[in-house]
Homo-oligomer: A and B are copies of this chain.
Amino acid sequence: MPKVIDHDQRRREIVEVAKQLIMDGGFEAATMRSIVSAAGFANGALKHYFDNKDEIVAATFESVLADTGENMSISAESPLGPVDGLRAYVEAGMPLDEPRIASARILIALWNHAMTNPDLARRYQDLLRTWRSDLIDRITNVRTDPEGEGAPTSETLADEVITVTVGAHVTSLMFPPGDLANNYRAYIDEFMARVAD
């Protein structure tokens, strides 16, 4: 009986290896050669799964976008009430621990690629739209201040949370891992007090 190789499973393993290489050494560290070596493949075996580095890069970014979408839907399904649910949703996106700070390296590489890859920019744009729409619903559900005169709209509050989260991925990488985590926890406390106290 021929050996059955799960093609999709192998592709996922290769993508995980590529992610780890980018997290450890930056985007340039993920070469075809380093991926083959880290995955324990024979030279040339990678070609059965991906034609070239661009395909691996595309699959890696797809995987990061899918992870992010999955994190969001997990927190959306949580049994917490709307206030704790909003907090969990906001915290889920923030780089508050070393694994998430390390994975921010992949996002910076992704954004950099999106500058010259309109498909990738569009994919990230879709993610930003979904994220914004989820946040608007969640914020509207918990607000104690009605949207009266002078009060910010839920749209503006959602934009604030999204840009803080995106920006925190960049700033966290400029300092030793975790140095800014307490600053961002304080921000989340302040945001929650503002919308739901």
Contacts and interface: CB of A to CB of B under 8 A. Distances in A.
A73 interface: no
A2 interface: no
A155 to B, nearest CB: 7
Contacts of A187: 156, 159-160, 163
Given A171-B128, A173-B121, A115 B26 contact: yes
Nearest to A158: B183
A112 interface: yes
A180 B129 CA distance: 12
B167 A116 contact: no
Contacts of A163: 163-165, 167-168, 171, 184, 187
Interface string A150-174: 1011011101101111111011011
Interface in A58-98: none
Given A162-B167, A174-B128, A187-B156, A108 B116 contact: no
Contacts of A52: none
Contacts of A165: 163, 167
A186 B167 contact: no
A159 B188 CA distance: 11
A6 interface: no
Interface of A: 25-29, 105, 108-109, 111-112, 114-116, 121, 124-125, 128, 150, 152-153, 155-157, 159-160, 162-168, 170-171, 173-175, 180, 183-184, 186-187, 190, 193-194, 197
